[in-house]
Structure 1
Amino acid sequence: MPVHTTHGPEGNQGRGVGLGLALVSAVAFGGSGVAAKPLIEAGLEPLHVVWLRVAGAALVMLPLAVRHRALVRRRPVLLAGFGLLAVAGVQACYFAAISRIPVGVALLVEYLAPAILLCWVRFVQRRPVTRAAAVGVVLAVGGLACVVEVWSGMGFDALGLLLALAAACCQVGYFVLSDQGAGAGKEAPDPLGVIAYGLLVGALVLTVVARPWTMDWSVLAGTARMDGGSVAAWLLLGWVVLIATVLAYVTGVVSVRRLSPQIAGVVACLEAVVATVLAWVLLGEHLAAPQIAGGAVVLVGAFIAQSSTPAKPSDGPVAGGSGAGGSGDAEGVLSAPESGA
Structure 2
Amino acid sequence: MPVHMSQGSQGERGRGVGLGLALVSAVAFGGSGVAAKPLIQAGLDPLHVVWLRATGAALVMLPLAVRHRGLVRSRPALLAGFGLLGVAGVQACYFAALSRIPVGVALLIEYLAPALVLGWVRFVQRRPVTRAAAVGVVLAVGGLACVVEVWSGLSFDVLGLLLALGAACCQVGYFVLADQGSEAGDRAPDPLGVIAYGLLVGAALLTVVARPWTLDWSVLGGSAAMNGTSVPAVALLAWVVLIATVLAYVTGVLSVRRLSPQVAGVVACLEAVIATVLAWVLLGEHLSMPQLIGGAVVLLGAFTAQSSAPAKTSAEPVAAGDGTGRELSSRSASA
Structure 1 length normalisation: TM-score?
0.83
Aligned 8 A contact 1:98 1:106 in 2: yes
- Aligned ranges for residues 51-62 of structure 1 at < 5 Å? 51-62=51-62
1:166/1:230 Cα in 2 relative to 1: closer, same or farther (>3 Å)? same
Deviation at 1:213, TM superposition (A): 0.6
SS, match of residue 61 in structure 2? helix
Corresponding residue number in structure 2 for 1:24: 24
Residue 101 of structure 2: SS of its match in structure 1?
coil
Match of 1:121 in 2: 121
CA 1:21–1:302: 2 relative to 1, 3 Å: closer
Judged with a 3 Å threshold, the aligned counterparts in structure 2 of structure 1 residues 319 and 169 are, in CA distance, closer, same or farther, namely farther
The residue number in structure 1 matching 2:3 is none
Gaps of 5+ in 2: 1-5
Q: Percent identity?
A: 80
Hey, what does 1:73 align to over in structure 2?
A: 73
CA contact 1:54–1:199 (8 Å) conserved in 2:
yes
Given the alignment of the two structures, is residue 48 of structure 1 paired with residue 45 of structure 2, yes or no?
Answer: no
Does the C-alpha gap of structure 1 residues 311 and 239 become closer, same or farther in structure 2, counting only changes over 3 Å?
farther
State the match for 2:163 in structure 1. 163
Distance 1:311 1:334, change over 3 A: farther
Aligned equivalent of 2:85:
85
- In 1, Cα distance between the equivalents of 2:255 and 2:132? 26
Aligned-pair distance for 1:19?
Answer: 2.6
Distance 1:9 1:185 in 2: 30
- Alignment deviations for residues 73-119 of structure 1 (CA, whole Å, 9 cap, x no partner): 11111110110111111101111111111112211222211221122
Conserved 8 A contact 1:21-1:255: yes
Q: Report the secondary structure of 2:230's partner residue.
A: strand
Find the counterpart in structure 2 of residue 105 from structure 1.
Answer: 105
Match among 317, 329, 332 for residue 338 of structure 1: 329
Q: Higher mean Cα deviation, 304-313 or 100-109? A: 304-313
**2:275 paired with 1:275:** yes
Say which is worse superposed, 34-43 or 94-103, in terms of deviation: 94-103
Could you list the per-position Cα deviations for residues 16-65 of structure 1 after superposition, in whole angstroms to 9, with x for gaps in the alignment? 33232222111111111100000000000110000000000001111111
Where do residues 1-341 of structure 1 align in structure 2 (5 Å cutoff)? 9-129=9-129, 154-180=154-180, 187-294=187-294, 297=297, 318-321=318-321, 333-336=324-327, 338-340=329-331, 341=334
In 2, distance between residues paired with 1:104 and 1:248?
Answer: 18
Paired with 1:128 and 1:317, the residues of 2 have a C-alpha distance of 5
SS in 2 for 1:31: helix
Say what the alpha-carbon RMSD is for the aligned residues. 3.3
Q: Which moved more, 1:46-55 or 1:108-117?
A: 108-117
CA distance, structure 2, for counterparts of residue 43 and residue 219 of structure 1: 7
Shift in CA distance, 277/239, structure 1 to aligned 2, threshold 3 Å = same
CA separation of 1:263 and 1:141: change in aligned 2, threshold 3 A: closer
Give unmatched runs, 5+ long, in structure 1: 1-5, 323-329
Secondary structure of the 1:336 match is coil
Letter in 2 for 1:210: A
Tell me by how many angstroms 1:311 deviates.
7.5
Query: What is the rounded CA distance, in whole Å, between the counterparts of 1:146 and 1:124 in structure 2?
Result: 29
Structure 2 residue identity aligned to 1:117: V
Query: Cα 1:260–1:45, aligned 2, differ >3 Å: closer, same or farther?
Result: same
Deviates more, 1:285-294 or 1:234-243: 285-294
CA distance in 2, matches of 1:221, 1:124: 50
| Distance change in 2, residues 1:123/1:256 (3 Å) | same
AA aligned to 1:99 is S
| Distance of 1:20 and 1:308 partners within structure 2 | 19
For structure 1, which segment, 169-178 or 9-18, has the greater mean C-alpha deviation from structure 2 after superposition?
A: 9-18
CA distance in 2 between counterparts of 1:140 and 1:128 reads 20
Change (3 A) 1:148 1:248: closer
- SS of equivalent to 2:155: coil
SS at match of 1:69: coil
* 1:126 Cα deviation after fit: 1.7
